[in-house]
Amino acid sequence: MRRSDPAWSPVAGAAGAGLPRVAWGKGSYVYDSAGRRYLDASGGPAVFCLGHGHEEVNAAITRQLERIAHGYRYSFTSEPLEELEALITAAAGAAFAAMVFVSGGSEAVESALKIALQYHSARGAPARRRFIARRRSWHGNTLGALAVSDFLARRAPFEGALTEASFIGSVNAYRPPAGVAAAELARHGAAELEAEILRLGAERVAAFIFEPVVGAAGGVVPAPAGYATLVRAVCERHGVLMIADEVMCGSGRCGTWRALAHDGVEPDIFAIAKGLGAGYLPLGAAVYHRRIAEVIDAADGGPLTGHTFTGHTAACAAGVAVQTIVRRERLVERVAADGPAFRAALAAELAGLEAVGDVRGRGFFVGIEFVADRQTREPFAPELGVAGRIGRAALEAGLLCYPVCGNVDGVRGDAILLAPPFNATAAELEEIVGLLGGAVRRALGTLPPR
């Protein structure tokens, strides 16, 4: 697929030629400057968890801007910042009262990595500099976050400038390692992590970073049952921190506010963004456990990371409004309750298509993987651009989804991500299912005969 292809843009991060010009949005719908309406079934890249144009959020931002846009973090704290801290702690658990606010997911992951390094330095273990991550992972565009990401197309232009990290296998029930039974996948993944820690020497390893549900790089891949518990035990055994990248899958997207809460596991540090402020203003955070905060605070007085716009006052006000609505309207509980039916409806709509290999996910985070051979799970040839074809067909039908390429090995693999607003109506979810089914059929119909 050419980089100038509009369907390439959400995947590679380049601005695509020929994209429609956005004009306005309301609820689950977005309108372009030509007056065309689009049902936003992916929330952009899983961002717009309350949809667009929410009057309560807009009013909160306006009120804050009328008072002051931002109080610099080394001069002031602010009411919105303190309120957002309290809301996050209430949602994440009492142990998570320490956090650094940033302007997005990449910065949140970058801050999480720096907090891990600062913690080890503060406790007298400065040799712990190495990070371990998984294949088919995506953690962000800043150099540190990119260094622990395994996304070939996004890494390639920057190789040689990235800090060395270790990568272990992905943990994907649809594509398990050869000879590994589904029931053994969690144990196999944890054993692989422990083997890499021992190979490197535990005294050199700072942290293991992973996505509880892999988003853009894998096409929505939930870890198997028991995996997070086993990994937590491995990390504790060797003094390695666990970092959960919940930028895409967290903040309620998967039906629990912390994605790892589904597994009953607490990380040492977790990164959030996207659904935290719902896209109304740029906002993210690296949140860390009190046992980490106690060591850092004793040695350094606080985290040695942050930016000019850390704790941006108006952005925090947006986050307070978003999280207040999510909590008041019990939207995380709604996602948990309605998510299985949404996935089932998608699976039923696509059931007759041989090219549909897997429909998976958690909550309102769904991935659909397309394959050339359903029996062998052989992916389509990458030059066919299957995900891009489906993305274009959906756009033409007035549906926004998120195409993913290379989810199998960095080059091959086609998937579509769906991440509708938490407050999407039953009729809107039904419309997503119908529009996507039609778009998939039309796109597959354009493929050359085999």
pLDDT at position 17:
64
And the tokens for 88? 């996050």
**Are 160 and 73 in a shared domain?**
yes
**Are 37 and 126 in a shared domain?**
no
**Are 172 and 122 in a shared domain?**
yes
pLDDT at position 18:
81
**Are 294 and 345 in a shared domain?**
no
In a domain, 196, yes or no: yes
For residue 56, the tally of other CB atoms under 10 A from its CB is: 12
**Are 92 and 201 in a shared domain?**
yes
**Are 264 and 353 in a shared domain?**
no
Burial of 16 (0-12, 13-18, 19+ CB in 10 A): middle
- Give per-residue pLDDT as tens, 44-66: 999 999 999 999 999 999 999 99
Strands 399-400 and 37-40: parallel
Domain that holds residue 135: 56-328
In a domain, 342, yes or no: yes
In a domain, 38, yes or no: yes
pLDDT at position 11:
39
In a domain, 424, yes or no: yes
- Give per-residue pLDDT as tens, 175-202: 999 999 999 999 999 999 999 999 999 9
Q: What is the pLDDT along the chain (450 residues), one digit of tens a residue?
A: 333 333 334 433 344 568 899 999 999 999 999 999 999 999 999 999 999 999 999 999 999 999 999 999 999 999 999 999 999 999 999 999 999 999 999 999 999 999 999 999 999 999 999 999 999 999 999 999 999 999 988 999 999 999 999 999 999 999 999 999 999 999 999 999 999 999 999 999 999 999 999 999 999 999 999 999 999 999 999 999 999 999 999 999 999 999 999 999 999 999 999 999 999 999 999 999 999 999 999 999 999 999 999 999 999 999 999 999 999 999 999 999 999 999 999 999 999 999 999 999 999 999 999 999 999 999 999 999 999 999 999 999 999 999 999 999 999 999 999 999 999 999 999 999 999 999 999 999 999 987
In the sheet that holds 414-418, the strands lie side by side as 356-362, 365-370, 414-418, 402-405
**Are 337 and 214 in a shared domain?**
no
Q: Which amino acid is at 185?
A: L
CATH code, domain carrying 137: 3.40.640.10
> Structural domain tally of the chain?
2
**Are 324 and 334 in a shared domain?**
no
**Are 76 and 133 in a shared domain?**
yes
And the tokens for 279? 């896209």
- Give the start-end residues of each E strand in 255-410: 269-272, 284-288, 356-362, 365-370, 399-400, 402-405
**Are 159 and 82 in a shared domain?**
yes
Q: Among 300, 328, 356, which residue terminates a domain?
A: 328
Scanning the structure block, which residue is given the tokens 């998939």? 440
Rounded to whole angstroms, the Cα distance separating 383 from 420 reads: 29
Rounded to whole angstroms, the Cα distance separating 334 from 87 reads: 19
**Are 316 and 339 in a shared domain?**
no
CATH code, domain carrying 414: 3.90.1150.10
Rounded to whole angstroms, the Cα distance separating 399 from 435 reads: 7
